[in-house]
Structure 1
Amino acid sequence: MTSLSAFARRLGAAALLATLAGCSSPRVERAPADVTFSVGIIDGNPGIPVVGGPPGNGGAPQTATTVHLKFLGGAPGPFTVVAQRLARPPAAGQPVDWTSIPASTVPLVPAAEAVGLSKEAWNTEFQAALGYLQVWDYGIYDVDIKAAYDDQRLYLQLQWRDSTQSLAHHDWIYRVDPATGLGAFARRTTDEDVVYLSFLIDPAAAGRAASGCTTACHVSERRGATTPDDLAYRFTMHAAAPGLRADSWAWHAGRTNPLGLADDASWDEAGLYGDCPDPPACTQLCAGGEAPPCSTPPYAGDDDAPAPAPLFMSADGIDASPAFLFLGGAGAPAAVPFDPGAAASAGATLPGAALQRPSAHRGDVSARGTWANGVWTLELSRDLVTSDPNDAQFPLQ
């Protein structure tokens, strides 16, 4: 009996310890701090030919200038996206399972409306300053956004309606003059679908909560001014004040999507710069406004300037009409030097750019977009924390 009583007491003590262990403090999940960002979308179809200027498309996007991204809870809303922690990272090469993650339908407005201009005022400013008109309204009025994260990465999914899949950015087409029978490649005004995201790099130092904008932010300033300095200020991407720096992610349906990435860049009060492999030294090198030798973009223009001719063609031949060309083993078909003596057939096309692997840090943002049944679905992801001082950081708190 004594041994049985002792056994019972020991058993009770073990149960008590197990109960106490179960009542210990629960694990607290760490999350990044809440941030804001802006989003802009361009519909590349149709490219609008404009006398005296580039195509009307490819300009200022439909935009939402301030969207709140919350990691610490909250309710999804028109300008609030709530990120959910993933139980486990997605398998390599696989998308996130977005099924149970709620979407926020974020309203988008035309660029002019975002900066307080009427259609008439917008057209007046562009015509006077640049000699051509910009697209007023791309007809994209909302985008569904979902967000998730794990211990390593941030994931975003964007879905929006677009009746056409536009991939060709200023491509070439071979046209034959019926009167002479002579032919040549001519540049078209086609354009691609594009998404821009912008995050402040240091919101506290900037003294503002908004992430800036992803549209023609400065057209409404210095209205009517057309000096070279005014044009540079009003019609280029830059911050409004010193100390305001933004991390820019630009996804291009034809020029970055085939590589599985978005173009990672940053901008300050002087301009926009592609991320570079040796920051911050290379950033200083590029800060004078020259073409940045320190940063390799994910594409090279297929334009043998000043001659109006392509620079590259497909290794498969002049009549292959590939959707994409790749440099340096980045994909297939390979781009080779354009052969001006090659005989092309009427209607043959060449891409407006050749795709290549970007330099370090410029390819930090993974991206994959698919188009089906009139809807684009785009997933972007990036490490929460990178070693690039020109990136916004999302450390777990």
Structure 2
Amino acid sequence: MTRRQVAPEHWRPEQKLKRLHTKIAFDSERIYFRFRWTQPNPGGWLHDMLVYRDGKWTQFANPSPWVGEGDTPEHTGFYEDRVSFLLDDGSVKGFEEFGGWLTVHTGMRSMPSEVPEAAVRSHDHFGADGLDKTDIRKFIPQACTGDWWENDWRTVRSEAELEELKQNGVFLDLPMWRAHRSNPKGYGTDHHVLDYRHGDQGRNTYTTQEWDPEDGPEYMWDPDVVDGGALDYHEIREGNFPDQQDGTYALEMEDAVPFDPDVAEREGAMIPRRPLREPYGSAADWRGTGVWNDGEWIVEMWRDLQTDHPTDTKQLERGETYTWTPAVHHGAGKRWHWVAYPYKLGLGIEPDYTGEQHAHGTTELIAEEFTGDEPNWDEISTYTVPLVFPGVMDWTALTSDHSRAEAIRNAEITMWELYEKDPASFLE
């Protein structure tokens, strides 16, 4: 049955508040995170599929079948579940107070003010002669000229100035665990935010195969791995998902063969658009593994405290304090996620954070030191971090239209104080 389409900017999750149960541990070499959160909808390990339907290949990227408000939208996609966080060592002014809201601006993709592709393509820095992008994504205001809080994407600093900021650590670390695009390889993906949300140096866990509605994709599964070279969309749409732990649902390059329409071109044939590969370099700093079971994700992520790439990864040390803010993503891309206010994270020490007075729980987290080969999670404290759906509130509005804009510009107030008591009050 065909149902009405709902524009992405109008999608709203039924659940406005999530709770992310978090444990953090470290030893002399590595830091470890363990995340647990409820997600009753199965199939969050499937992502961005090419489906043969009505005589042509179609990209099914979003929304997932459980995304929508009111009347369910026509199903047009699969989008993986993810957990991510922003991390800073004090180098980015305003992040301690405002967390992820510092990175969201007028003109970004998926915002009502989204910059048209033509305007991005014609820009000296973001366009074809620069980064070669088609949209504007997360950035920090320090990447733009003017006062520290000013954030017009059209006034981005020169390449030389941006490189100097990177050398001085003025960027945000952004690792992410992806249920489809990284978990089968045992890794996360690693990014950093300055003028854009950049991938770290090296190669991440996935690539993108070319495809054409008439000719189909470049690759399919080896029929010895998946019968007929493709999954069956109709089976999966009925809820018969490949097992997340033992089934085949990700197309790994070692299992891929050139697409053969005589084998895999049939109604409902489904092949991932994003084949997986072995990562390397700074992009492969984070290892990760996650399991969905009975409506709940449990994800572990870990990396070395010190890495070989300090210009895109925050270096960590025992006895130091960092600002940390996590997010959980579900069922769609872009702003379809739940985010936390900023927290202070101490490695083996108790941090001090001025935002604590309006939190129901602590805003000061301690990564606990352990001995042995890996953390004994039963002995590590659990922090329950509330996450809210952020809507379309952005840094531009906070620093210009908000009733406390002057205090925000002076970094004299935190997100906790702006909305007081419980993060859920942000939604009122």
Instruction: State the TM-score, normalizing by the size of structure 1.
Output: 0.53
1:395 aligns with 2:320: no
Over 3 Å counting, the alpha-carbon distance change for 1:160 and 1:185 in structure 2 is: same
Structure 2 equivalent of residue 15 of structure 1: none
**Partner of residue 204 from structure 2, selected from 297, 321, 337:** 297
Structure 2 equivalent of residue 159 of structure 1: 36
1:317-396 mapped onto 2 (5 Å cutoff): 318-321=228-231, 322-327=248-253, 329=254, 334-389=255-310, 390-396=312-318
Over 3 Å counting, the alpha-carbon distance change for 1:215 and 1:251 in structure 2 is: farther
Over 3 Å counting, the alpha-carbon distance change for 1:215 and 1:396 in structure 2 is: closer
- Per-residue deviation at 1:368? 0.6
Over 3 Å counting, the alpha-carbon distance change for 1:141 and 1:184 in structure 2 is: same
In structure 1, give the amino acid aligned to 2:31: L
Q: What is the alpha-carbon distance in structure 2 between the residues aligned to residue 257 and residue 154 of structure 1?
A: 18
1:186 aligns with 2:61: no
Larger radius of gyration: 1
Over 3 Å counting, the alpha-carbon distance change for 1:218 and 1:174 in structure 2 is: same
Identity among equivalent pairs (%): 25
Q: What is the alpha-carbon distance in structure 2 between the residues aligned to residue 223 and residue 195 of structure 1?
A: 25
In structure 1, give the amino acid aligned to 2:86: S
Q: What is the alpha-carbon distance in structure 2 between the residues aligned to residue 187 and residue 387 of structure 1?
A: 38
- What SS class does the counterpart of residue 371 from structure 1 fall into? strand
Structure 1 equivalent of residue 96 of structure 2: 209
Q: What is the alpha-carbon distance in structure 2 between the residues aligned to residue 304 and residue 144 of structure 1?
A: 40
Q: What is the alpha-carbon distance in structure 1 between the residues aligned to residue 40 and residue 204 of structure 2?
A: 29
Q: What is the alpha-carbon distance in structure 2 between the residues aligned to residue 374 and residue 259 of structure 1?
A: 23
Structure 2 equivalent of residue 26 of structure 1: none
Structure 2 equivalent of residue 74 of structure 1: none
In structure 1, give the amino acid aligned to 2:139: H
Q: Is the 8 A contact 1:247 1:392 kept in 2?
A: yes
Structure 2 equivalent of residue 146 of structure 1: 23
- Per-residue deviation at 1:296? 2.2
1:136 aligns with 2:24: no
Q: What is the alpha-carbon distance in structure 2 between the residues aligned to residue 158 and residue 251 of structure 1?
A: 11
| CA deviation vs aligned residue, 1:292-342 (integer Å, no higher than 9, x gap) | xxx423111234258673221001254442411112x4xxxx112212343
1:253 aligns with 2:191: no
- What SS class does the counterpart of residue 251 from structure 2 fall into? coil
Q: Is the 8 A contact 1:168 1:352 kept in 2?
A: no
Q: What is the alpha-carbon distance in structure 1 between the residues aligned to residue 283 and residue 39 of structure 2?
A: 28
- Per-residue deviation at 1:204? 3.5
- What SS class does the counterpart of residue 342 from structure 1 fall into? helix
Structure 1 equivalent of residue 415 of structure 2: none
1:272 aligns with 2:179: no
In structure 1, give the amino acid aligned to 2:251: L
- Per-residue deviation at 1:362? 0.8
- What SS class does the counterpart of residue 325 from structure 1 fall into? coil
**Partner of residue 83 from structure 2, selected from 177, 192, 195:** 195
1:96-135 mapped onto 2 (5 Å cutoff): 133-135=9-11
Uncovered stretches (5+) of structure 2, i.e. residues with no partner: 61-76, 127-132, 144-164, 232-247, 320-428
Q: Is the 8 A contact 1:249 1:365 kept in 2?
A: yes
Q: What is the alpha-carbon distance in structure 2 between the residues aligned to residue 249 and residue 362 of structure 1?
A: 9
- What SS class does the counterpart of residue 379 from structure 1 fall into? strand
Q: Is the 8 A contact 1:298 1:357 kept in 2?
A: yes
Instruction: State the TM-score, normalizing by the size of structure 2.
Output: 0.49
In structure 2, give the amino acid aligned to 1:203: G
Residues 256-265 or 313-322, more deviating: 313-322
| CA deviation vs aligned residue, 1:172-224 (integer Å, no higher than 9, x gap) | 2233x4xxxxx333222211111121112x42464652584189721499985
Q: What is the alpha-carbon distance in structure 2 between the residues aligned to residue 187 and residue 342 of structure 1?
A: 19
- Per-residue deviation at 1:370? 0.4
Over 3 Å counting, the alpha-carbon distance change for 1:385 and 1:305 in structure 2 is: farther
Over 3 Å counting, the alpha-carbon distance change for 1:223 and 1:264 in structure 2 is: closer
- Per-residue deviation at 1:248? 0.9
Q: Is the 8 A contact 1:263 1:362 kept in 2?
A: yes
Q: Is the 8 A contact 1:247 1:265 kept in 2?
A: yes
- Per-residue deviation at 1:364? 0.8
